[in-house]
Structure 1
Amino acid sequence: MTAVQAAFFRSSLLNRMAGIAMLSAALIGVTIGLVGVAVVHKVESQYAGELLFRDLDRTTTAMDRAFGQVLQDLSILANTSPIQGLVRTLDSGGIDPVDGTSTAEAWKTRLAAIFASFHAIRPHYLQIRYIGFADDGREIVRVDKTSDGSRRIAEAALQAKGAEDYVKEAALLQPGKTYVTPVNWNRENGVIQEPRIAVARYIMPVFGEDGRRFGMIVINVEGGPFMSAAMRDYGIERQVVMIGPTGNRYLYSPEANAGLLELDEGRSLPDEVYEAIEQAEADDIVAVREQLIAGTIYDGITPGGGAIRVGVIEDAAALSEGRRQVSGILTVLVVVMSLAAALLAYKLTAVALRPLCAMNKAIIDVGASDRAPELPEDREDEIGQISRSFGGLVRRMAEREKRARTVFDGVSDGIAIASPSGVIKDLNPAACDLFGYTRDELLGQNLSILMFSDDRRRHDRQIETYLETGRPTSLFRTVERIGRHRDGREIPVELTVSEIFDNGERYFAGILRDVSERREKDEERNCLIAALEASNEELDSFAYVASHDLKAPLRTIHNATNWIIDDLEGEMNEEMQKNIDLLRSRVQRMERLLDDLLEHSRIGRKIGDVSMRDVDGSQLRKTVEGLVHLPEGFTLTFEAGFDGIRVFEMPLAQVLVNLVSNAIKHHHREAGTVSVRATAVGERYRFDVRDDGPGIAPKYHEKIFQLFRTLKARDKVEGSGMGLAIVSKHVAVQGGKISVESEGDGTGATFSFTWPAAASGADAGESDRSVA
């Protein structure tokens, strides 16, 4: 912010608003003045353009009339009777066959008289000639302009013009057509005449009555005087420049009332002027060297047969003088109006802001007191609206501060706010109660009063590090510290520090929670966890020892049966053999029961006793097929999509093996089918194992998952009764649930359970669909 800006914002509102109003009035006045000048400039430019285009139109009209007049004279002369009379007479040996008496000389005399009459009314015709194509383009009749009239050229002085380019061009013209030569110096017998006269030759061919090309009428017109007379006749008031197709230039000056034709000599105007005229577009005005130029292209019948570039020039200085006078008048008016408007703006602003200044004074007088300022809320204008809005804002802020203070004072956690130097600025009753002080005793004190020396030094270092580097330290995370009570005892607290800003000032707010009770509960929980871990170790030890100790007598019984068989070899009858086999089967059943019981007790209690190798469905299928003993007549199928799943191999493979083996073992026929299906359900899979066996009655659906439960006598179906209980516990440990669907009417049973997918398994966004 610059010094001017700072001084502006330090001034009073009245001065600022008045200054803005005065500046705005001045800017508006200046803008009006500039717009006025621009309008004057625009109007004058448009007027100048209209004048230029008016003279440009007059110039082209004058050119049309001048060139058209010459062409009209050509047509008249080419169709006079002496022209055809000479054609007939010269073709007939000297006597006109039409009247039988007129000689060639008589017709020439008549034609010369006609030529002389045209010289009398056309002062810019230098020569009028009748040239035949015979005798190398020899002149037949020629009348030249003289200082006192005109003169017929004697027969002996007539010239042959067959070598001239315009004669060759005329020989190609069709009846009624004309040709105009470029402007060049007049020549006699091939020599440029002095003083030099620039001429343009207007030519029309002459044909005999039989259509034969005979000759031509040629009018030599003085270029400069001819165009000057045309300009004067049309009252051209500005300088005109014409540039012909061969580069010849004609300049007309209204002041001199004459023109200048430039052929070989240098240019009278700067090159930029000629270039501007040659490049000018129609209806366009360009400025060159303090001159305004309007240009166009004249493409009528012209000398040389090409287009003529025409430009009209106006001196821009004459326009600028009038513009300066008007601009000066407007400037004076703008200054006077701006000063008057600025003074009026100041007075009106002072009147308009008087109530607002009074309201500002009332707010300042209240200061930091708790009472609300007396504002003119009863006014119906904008001041009243501001007063009502501000008064409402003050009341809302007071209410909000009251609510915030209520929350601040009412929360159960202690809150303390301190400066970066550690001075306590505010704290709530919970913080006071936590440390045993009153609020007044702690306000203005340093935080060190609430800390022991070690925590005090660590706290000071963390604050210093943060203020120096700006990098957050562990202080800004929730940490546990030891607080110091007023009576000197330790208070374990959980501390969270946050950085806050108020009116640009930095403060640190700390939230403190007494964690004494939580520490006691944590210690109690740790004791319980330790006791539980010891109990689990004892249970594992007990299960192993029990299994080992119970298996020892079973091995003894098994060995004893072997000894009995050996001792009674050859003496055992069928009854004895049956009892021995029964004893052995009971021993084997007891061993399986002990193994299953030990496995059941270990499920979910040992971390790391499950393989975390993730496999796809095809690998899992091969594992299950390899572990299942499939009797002859039974088939095991995995439905489409099973190979696409991805799961942890164990203990899922054991669960599937148990369910498939259970379905085969309890089947009521010699042949059967078991199918396995997997379906993605969110981030888990649902597995269905279906068989076509006897089924299970609904009343047993819950009991079959209990320990030692079988639906058939163990003498009929060997088993420990633990298979489904082991499956159910494995599923439960994985967060799932197993169920069975069956009516027990011989239509089979379906066991269903859910199992978590591996990281690359089922898509959590899809549900209840078959895995493909």
Structure 2
Amino acid sequence: MYVSVVETGESVDREFYWKQDGDNSIWLHIVAVKLNDGLAVTFRNITDRKRAEIALRDSEEHFRAIFEQAAVGIAKTTLSGQFLRVNPGFCQIVRYDASELLQLHWAAITHPDDIAADREYLRLLLAGDIQNFSMEKRLICKDGQVQWVNVTVSVMRSAEGMPQYSIWAIEDISERKLVQELLEASLATQTRYARELTRSNAELEQFAYVASHDLQAPLGTIVGYAQLLEKRCNNILDAPTNKFITNIVNSCERMQALIDDLLEYSRVGKSQKVFELVDCNRVFEEACANLQVEIGKNQAVVTRTDLPAVTGDRFQLVQLFQNLISNALKYRRDEPPIVRASATLDGDNWLFSVQDNGIGIAEDFYPRIFQIFQRLHTQREYSGTGIGLAICQKIVERHGGRIWVESALDRGSTFYFSLPHFPAID
């Protein structure tokens, strides 16, 4: 190289890589100039600059790979929003070719209702008040279809901190927005149905209360005259006619019981009594006292473990235990009924159980027994109105719990119900 400079007189200005063992290799900038009396050569170490250039080139290649292959859409724009560069992902979302987008401004593909928010965020971004922003917005695709996207925008600045250009990253969220809209519509529908059901139930309860209350007087009149007729004409009329009168009286009495239970059922939901601390041991004993005749008649053994105190309506809790015990006495087998009540603490609730050794219930009938007027047996087999367990369920739900049964035919039944546990009160 030096001989060539001397012979031709042409200066040399070259970058040269001097490879050495280990990490000692360096880059040199060599300048050789012919002088009248010889040769002038200068060497300058440019290793740091070359390493920075190589790192920058690698970084640009890495960015280019990410830019082109990213699953999300990425666009580079001027500070005013003119597209400078877009990746394939961006084109796929908005269905424009890259060449078409480079002729457009960001606002041209933004839904009119979202432009104002865009501009306000960009103003804050350029002013340095925020570093970047993300928002859900709508884009207008080439075919006119509206596309929901999540957009994240950042401004690239120079070493001096001056804004240079913007980077926009968009993610297609159309499916998520569709699911969200469907869920919102479904929730609105369910809410509307719930309101209508609540109103309908309230109207039904009011109707049941008024209807059953208004039926009391005429039914009482029918029963009274039928019984009077039965008493006065017993020796005058023939046997078939007397039987007809007896059937009328029996039917009226069953109707009276049905009306009484229907009134009781409607009163459960209408009760405005404030809950108080109630000792369930005393509640159980009061229920048994009310059933004393039936318990003795059936030679039943009715016991309990120690029961907790709960907050509730004492009268309704007595009715709850009374109905469950009464059912155990009614649906008995040949041997004397055995009924046992107990309670255990289960998390935030007291779990009560009323167990008997009666005829049991087939699992297929579990859902039916708590429905109003649902009976599994005929009047000839077992008397009743089919409202007792429906009243139990309503009482338990009013107290914030739930009720269910576990049973098997000829193996007895266990009715469970939960009531909230309040440690501060207990």
Normalising by structure 1, report the TM-score: 0.36
Matched position secondary structure for 1:368: helix
| 1:504-533 superposed Cα distances (whole Å, 9 cap, x missing partner) | 998664545237755874686478548745
What whole-Å deviation, never above 9, does each CA across 1:567-604 have from its counterpart, x for those lacking one? x496243857744541322212432565588799x9xx
Partner of 1:449: 108
Amino acid at match of 1:493: W
Distance, in Å, in 1 between the alignment partners of 2:52 and 2:280 is: 82
Q: Distance in 2 between matches of 1:657 and 1:421?
A: 79
Match of 2:359 among 673, 691, 696: 696
Cα distance, 1:622 vs structure 2: 5.2
Greater C-alpha radius of gyration = 1
Q: 1:294-305 counterparts in 2 under 5 A?
A: none
Superposition deviation, residue 459 in structure 1: 2.8
Q: CA RMSD in A?
A: 5.9
Alpha carbons of 1:626 and 1:432: their partners in 2 closer, same or farther (altered >3 Å)? farther
Indicate yes or no: 2:414 matched with 1:750.
yes
Partner residue in 1 for 2:405: 739
Corresponding residue for 1:408?
71
Deviations 1:118-157 (A, max 9, x none): xxxxxxxxxxxxxxxxxxxxxxxxxxxxxxxxxxxxxxxx
1:271-317 deviations in whole A, cap 9, x for unaligned?
xxxxxxxxxxxxxxxxxxxxxxxxxxxxxxxxxxxxxxxxxxxxxxx
Q: How does 1:167-206 map to 2 (within 5 A)?
A: none
1:560 equivalent to 2:229? Answer no
Equivalent residue, structure 1, for 2:384: 719
Pair 1:355-2:25 in alignment? yes
Q: 2: CA distance between counterparts of 1:368 and 1:739?
A: 75
* 1:703 maps to amino acid: F
How far the C-alpha of 1:499 sits from its partner, in A, is 6.3
| 1:211-610 superposed matches below 5 A | 354-355=24-25, 357=27, 361=50, 364=53, 368=57, 401=65, 406-409=69-72, 429=88, 431-442=90-101, 446-452=105-111, 455-465=114-124, 476=134, 479=136, 481-486=137-142, 491=146, 493=148, 495=150, 497=152, 509-514=169-174, 517=178, 521=182, 525=186, 528-529=189-190, 532=193, 536=197, 537=199, 541=203, 545=207, 556-565=218-227, 568=229, 571-573=232-234, 575=242, 578-579=246-247, 581-591=249-259, 594=262
Structure-2 separation of matches of 1:508 and 1:619: 68
Kept in 2, the 8 Å contact 1:610–1:651? The answer is no
Provide the rounded CA distance (Å) in 2 between the counterparts of 1:493 and 1:551. 59
Segments of structure 2 that go 5 or more residues without pairing to the other structure are 1-18, 29-46, 236-241
Q: Contact 1:658–1:723 at 8 Å: present in 2 too?
A: yes
CA 1:584–1:519 in structure 2 vs 1: closer, same or farther (change >3 Å)?
Answer: same
Cα deviation 1:260-281 (Å, max 9, x = unaligned): xxxxxxxxxxxxxxxxxxxxxx
Q: Deviations for 1:673-726, whole angstroms, at most 9, x for unmatched residues? A: 53221232x5555332224xx42346x344265255556653575422243456
Task: Give the conservation status (yes or no) of the 8 Å contact 2:74–2:167.
Answer: no
Within 2, Cα distance between the matches of 1:594 and 1:405?
74
Give the match for residue 33 of structure 2.
none
Distance 1:760 1:544, change over 3 A: same
Q: Where does the alignment leave 5 or more consecutive residues of structure 1 unmatched?
A: 1-348, 373-396, 603-608, 762-771
Contact 1:417 1:426 in 2 (8 A): yes
**CA deviation map 1:186-213 (0-9, x unaligned):** xxxxxxxxxxxxxxxxxxxxxxxxxxxx
Structure 1 570/686 Cα, relative in aligned 2: closer, same or farther at 3 Å? closer
CA contact (8 A) 1:675 1:689 kept: yes
Letter in 1 for 2:359: I
Q: Which amino acid aligns with 2:384?
A: G
- Pairing partner for 2:340 from 674, 678, 703: 674
Task: Give the partner amino acid of 2:365.
Answer: K
Partners of 2:106 and 2:271 lie apart in 1 by: 54
**Aligned length in residues:** 364
SS of structure 1 residue aligned to 2:173: strand
Amino acid at match of 1:585: E
8 Å contact kept, 2:96–2:142: yes
Q: CA deviation at 1:620?
A: 5.5
Residue 663 of structure 1 is matched in structure 2 by 328
Query: 1:325 corresponds to which residue?
Result: none
TM-score by length of 2: 0.57
SS of corresponding position for 2:292: coil
Q: In structure 2, how many angstroms separate the alpha carbons of the residues matched to 1:756 and 1:483?
A: 54
